[in-house]
A and B are shown apart, each in its own frame.
Chain A
Amino acid sequence: MEISQPLKPKDYKSDVPPIWCAGCGDYGVLASLTMAFSQNNVKPSDTVLVSGIGCSSRLPYFVTTFGMHTCHGRALPIATGIKLAKPDLRVVVVGGDGDHFSIGGGHLPHAARKNIDLLLIVMDNSIYGLTKGQVSPTSRPGMATTTTPYGSPDVPVNPVAYALVYGASFVAQSFSSNTKLTTDLIGKALNHKGFAFINVISPCPTFNKVDTFEYYKPLLKNIDEIHPDKGDKVKALSLAITMGRNNGEVPIGLFYQEERPTYVEMIQEIKIRNKGTDHPELGRIMDILRP
């Protein structure tokens, strides 16, 4: 997967220009991703970017890796299939909060607990942007949107807490304009063995007038100062749960990391135990079916 001539970040950008609004948080994630690819010598042809549906899910078109732009919510199972079928490929899933915490919310727990060796980057803008401003699973309570004109009655999802509880072995949070931190976290995640999750708060300047850059900037807090032991899951969870939308601090950085066997490793072990071969004598398997 390593290549000798390092590519520059711009070499990872395709000739398709992003369709995002001016000031969209997703630009920062795209910049961080290509920077991290460059820094980690990622070979584009050995890498697949998988997405679902939403503004952020357009990202694969803008990058020179292989890609899949699939159905709403289904990026994770599809990415899982790629990784398990061809473990040598590097698989990165990108998408939004709607994709991964609402319509596809049933897939995240399983990719995480199975420790599928891939990276999921969620661009969390707390709004449905592509459909022009409906309430999202991470929208704050009472938020007025086109489908909740009198205020949202929902309690929002806590992405970081969810990922921790589901069993993700790498859990981080970043902010889209902090490309240095995001690049650094993506790099760490690319080198992590197992399921890595990064929630990148990516404001939508067009449809979400509440969760803005200005709102978040003073609240962001480098997590390393308060949480140095990345193996302490209880502390990580406590920080995730208390992270405040009510003008409280929002920690960004690495919350949690553990090393445990990946699904691919366990499958490899099963193959070895069964003397798996690429050149099987199928007749011998058929012999089992003799009466």
Chain B
Amino acid sequence: MVIRVGGEGGEGVISTGDMLAQASARAGLEVLTFRTFPAEIKGGYAMYQLRVSTEKILSQGDTFHVCVVFNGEAYEMNKDLLAPGTVLVYDSPGGDFQPEATEGVIQYPVPMTKISKVDLGSPISKNMVALGAVMQLFSFPVDSLKDLIKAKFKKKGESVVEMNLRALEAGAEYVRSHLKKVDRFYVQPAQPREDRIMLSGNEAIGLGALVAGCRFFSCYPITPATDIANWLSRHLPKVNGVVVQAEDEIASLGQVIGATFAGVKAMTGTSGPGLDLMVELLGFASMAELPLVIADVQRGGPSTGLPTKSEQSDLFLAAKGGHGDFPRIVLAAATIEDCFYLTIEAFNLAERYQIPVILLSDGALASRTEKIKRPDLSKIRIINREAYSGGGEYQRYAVTETGVSPVSIPGQDGGRYIATGLEHSETAAPKYSPDYHEKMTEKRFRKIAALEDESPETECEGDKDGDLGIISWGLTQCAVREAMKECADRGLRVRALYPKLVFPVPVKAIQRFASTVKKVLIPELNYQGQFAELVAVHAGVNAIRFNLYGGLPFTPAQIREKITEVIK
């Protein structure tokens, strides 16, 4: 079941959705949320969508089954999506609008404003009244919700807890005594499991960093990446780590560079505009061969663009941004699990190859919360940079077969060197001769020349000899996975490749994949077809492009329809 709550920003839409999601997760259900915020703090349309199921959920779904609207604006935003069989819960009598009678749409008027304002004398409890009504209508777990309310408002005092519980009960009671349920949607009971955690994409990046051994994080606030910093600010001090809010993104990456030079694993989190500013230092980090991680939570660009929305349009910048020739690695997360495990992978790759690694996420994934299997920390492998062990004259940039040279850290006797952005010799002395610039450029690129072979195999599913092969990256993989299931049910011969490493382009996997299918389709959330272009240039595979660039993620239905159209 997919339930959507819409209303004015600041009206409790997000907290209502959060409570439903948390309570469902506590009661043992799988949950996946999707939300859009206005870019303003108060006012503007805000939406929270919750998908809840007894089974693992792959994406946010195609549309909603139940829509709870707090005001006329939310109704206007959603009325075209109200299909026959869907349910509308709205504020009436006493609300600011009357819905049109739409054929087949089930309507439940609940006087949220009136009950909270007149009956309870507490206008701010409107969302709790709505929550109670929704709980009663669709059998959301009552006990979990009450426990959550008690926990959430405990700090504000007993009377606040009491008022919220009364509002919840008043909403439920109104449904019991005034409405007759005629829809077929309800939340099925499930068994709570101990081995589950629930977190957002940004929190998962924070947790991943913590587990990977990151002990220094520097940031500059930017939507939609700020939650990474917020989460780490609370938890890094517990592991003797440091979080600093720098004066700008240039300084954030600068601090990260200083920390990693000093031997401490370090990271910054940002979005496109911040990554723009970091590019000069990114080149420095690659030139000086310093391991570090940048999480880029993409939003709509260019310029300020769509700060609270989703786009996959920083790929060119991440993969190619910067002057001169320098290597870097770009990974892309598709799920909450990815946000966690790929952050660890990003640190491992950074340390192993002494190189900057960019992890791409996006606005939708950043704020999506999902219940996932609790990671088994004993199974996680952590890689540390190859350390200089002393002895002989130290050559920081010794030319080796792999390109990787052992690194010293300040404080280490005999390990002295100057980390430099100038072209340099093996001992890090400035050196500009043609042979050195060639030799050292080759050394730096050699580190990741065999990256694809040294990485886990790219995941693939579906029919061998498919009529169509889909290559997707980042969040788009979620919609593709769900669409793939439906295609299999309908007997369509489709194959899908799910790269996590997006740059360097996993050329071998893509070429192998392309040779098994008749056509290749690359759906992505950008105008230029950025990954499709990289795939064409690097792997020589020309794909059919499917681009959306409105700021919203793909739905499985959009992918399904495109598959049908292309196969025909």
Contacts and interface: CB of A to CB of B under 8 A. Distances in A.
Contacts of B244: 80, 84
Interface residues of A, number: 52
B258 A80 contact: yes
Contact of A48 (B197, B410, B429): B410
Contacts of B259: 81-82, 84-86
6 contacts: A66-B410, A78-B261, A80-B251, A81-B255, A282-B210, A290-B197
B238 A69 contact: no
B418 interface: yes
Interface of B: 22, 25-26, 196-199, 203, 207, 210-211, 215-216, 218, 235, 237-242, 244, 246-248, 250-252, 254-264, 266, 280-281, 284, 288, 371, 374-375, 377, 410-422, 429-430
Nearest to A15: B429
Given A78-B254, A81-B256, A70 B284 contact: yes
A276 B418 contact: no
B149 to A, nearest CB: 15
Interface in A27-73: 44-48, 50, 60-61, 64-71
Contacts of B248: 106
Contacts of B241: 276
B284 A85 contact: no
A220 B281 CA distance: 39
A286 interface: yes
A71 B281 contact: yes
Contacts of B255: 77-78, 80-81, 84
The 10 closest A-B pairs by CB, nearest first: A81-B258, A77-B254, A291-B25, A81-B255, A85-B259, A77-B251, A67-B418, A82-B258, A85-B264, A289-B197
Residue from B218, B251, B258, B413 whose CB has the most chain A CB atoms within 10 Å: B258
Nearest to A72: B280
A65 B262 contact: no
Contacts of B197: 286, 289-291
Given A66-B416, A106-B248, A81 B421 contact: no
Interface string A256-284: 00000000000100110111111010110
B254 A89 contact: no
A291 B196 contact: yes
A140 interface: no
A204 to B, nearest CB: 21
Contact of B261 (A46, A82, A270, A277): A82
A274 B237 contact: yes
A193 interface: no
A4 to B, nearest CB: 14
Contacts of B262: 48, 81-82, 85-86, 89
Nearest to A58: B430
Nearest to A64: B416
A198 B374 CA distance: 53
B257 A70 contact: yes
Interface in A135-177: none
Nearest to B28: A291
A17 to B, nearest CB: 11
Contacts of A88: 411
Contact of A84 (B216, B410, B414, B430): B216
Given A274-B238, A289-B207, A86 B264 contact: yes
A68 B374 CA distance: 41
Given A274-B238, A282-B210, A286-B375, A80 B418 contact: no
Interface in A195-241: none
Contact of B239 (A78, A85, A110, A280): A280
Contacts of A85: 215-216, 242, 258-260, 262-264, 266
A45 B411 contact: yes
Interface in A72-124: 74, 76-86, 88-89, 106-107, 109-110
A22 interface: no
Contacts of B374: 286
Nearest to A1: B411
A45 B418 contact: no
A245 B68 CA distance: 71
A205 B375 CA distance: 64
B506 to A, nearest CB: 31
A82 B256 CA distance: 8
Contact of B247 (A110, A275, A276): A110
A222 to B, nearest CB: 35
A16 interface: yes
A50 B420 CA distance: 10
A206 B240 CA distance: 50
Nearest to B263: A86
Contacts of B238: 274-277, 280, 285
Contact of B410 (A45, A80, A106, A271): A45
A46 B421 contact: no
Contact of A86 (B26, B207, B257, B411): B411
A289 B25 CA distance: 11
B485 to A, nearest CB: 26
Nearest to B252: A77
Given A48-B261, A78-B261, 4 more contacts: A67-B417, A79-B258, A81-B257, A291-B25
